[in-house]
Amino acid sequence: MAAAEMIELWRGNLREGVHRGHAVVADARGIVAAWGDPGAVIFPRSSCKMIQALPLIESGAADAARLGTEELALACASHSGAVIHTERVGRWLAGIGLGEKALRCGSHMPGDKAEAKRMTCAGEAPCQLHNNCSGKHAGFLTLNQRLGGGPDYVELDHPVQRAVRLAFEEVTEETAAGWGVDGCSAPNFAGTIGALAQGMARFARPDGGKRGEAMARLVAAMLKHPELVAGEGRSCTAIMRATGGRVAVKTGAEAVFVAIWPERGLGIAVKVEDGAARASEAAIVALLVHLGALPREHPVVGTYLTGAHRNWRGLETGGLRLAPGFPR
């Protein structure tokens, strides 16, 4: 099946461009609705951090380290590197007797504008705590202490990544189609977008037992701390707040976006083929409006979907529209 036209870019009275991709809505019984190809194989990138965090809880490592909801939210986060993020990850590492140098995620300037400005003015270089994945990696290190692996926990054959792969394949109910190295140096396992949506539906309506409890705890932590999952001005934080804490959402690089709606037992997965984040943000918002999780008149809908695009003089140039056939 071909990718579906999802989001259009209009300038004046002409369609200037179109974003094509795949989107799936699923529940516990299977796929409820789909656009494009549910069998398309994708890298979920950071959208699957909730799955990657499952062994942290299931192993008993999270409780042994006395992790709270803030740490669990950070384990699922692609944060902005603001002070609220870096200080918490730093305290987490100190609490398990480790420091920033134990991380294997690399460093980059923070996405948070205030922190980036402070560091630039101070001539301060970023450290690994500023990496948007430092919370996930703190979780890996905590799990590693439980498993007794070596320090290079991002290697494919390391006990941490074997546990992550097993969780990914069990939650998606597929053998990974392949793997690649993610931006943070950890393995990222590929699978179909339909299986990813169904995996998110299992987070939305988890079964009992250890895994179900772990899923519920991670979703609850994300919903309690949306500012830790991303940051101010970021789509994940804004959308979760806009739903009133009813829907957990998580973006991934190259225009992947997932949503978990416990109230309805629904999981959603979106992948835009050209990798444009503006399109995946618009598509997830459109689906949440279509399903009734977001009121159409909420300002966040204007921010990511219906609002006018303006140039540097403030003149309206056009905007995004839903392609015919994509849910309205």
pLDDT digits (tens, 9 = 90+) for 313-323: 999 999 999 99
How far is CA 123 from each of CA 81, 87, 107, 115, rounded to the nearest angstrom?
A: 17, 19, 15, 12
State the average pLDDT over residues 87-105: 98
Measured CA to CA, the distance from residue 219 to residue 72 in angstroms comes to 9
Q: Tokens standing for 163?
A: 């546990």
Percent above pLDDT 70 for the chain: 100
Residue range 4-322, CATH number: 3.40.710
State the average pLDDT over residues 201-206: 98
pLDDT at site 201? 98
Is residue 94 within 8 Å of 102, Cβ to Cβ?
no
HEC states along 37-100? Answer: CCCCEECCHHHHHHHHCHHHHHCCHHHHCCCCHHHHHHHCCCCCCCHHHHHHHHHHHHHCCCCH
DSSP character for 155?
Answer: S
pLDDT above 90 (res 154) = yes
1: confidence class by pLDDT, cuts 50, 70, 90: confident
pLDDT digits (tens, 9 = 90+) for 217-243: 999 999 999 999 999 999 999 999 999
In this structure, the dihedral spanned by the alpha carbons of residues 244, 250, 253 and 255, taken in order and rounded to 10 degrees, is: -60
Which stretches of the chain are assigned E, i.e. beta strand? 4-11, 14-27, 30-35, 41-42, 178-181, 187-192, 248-252, 256-261, 266-272, 308-310, 316-322
Measured CA to CA, the distance from residue 292 to residue 91 in angstroms comes to 39
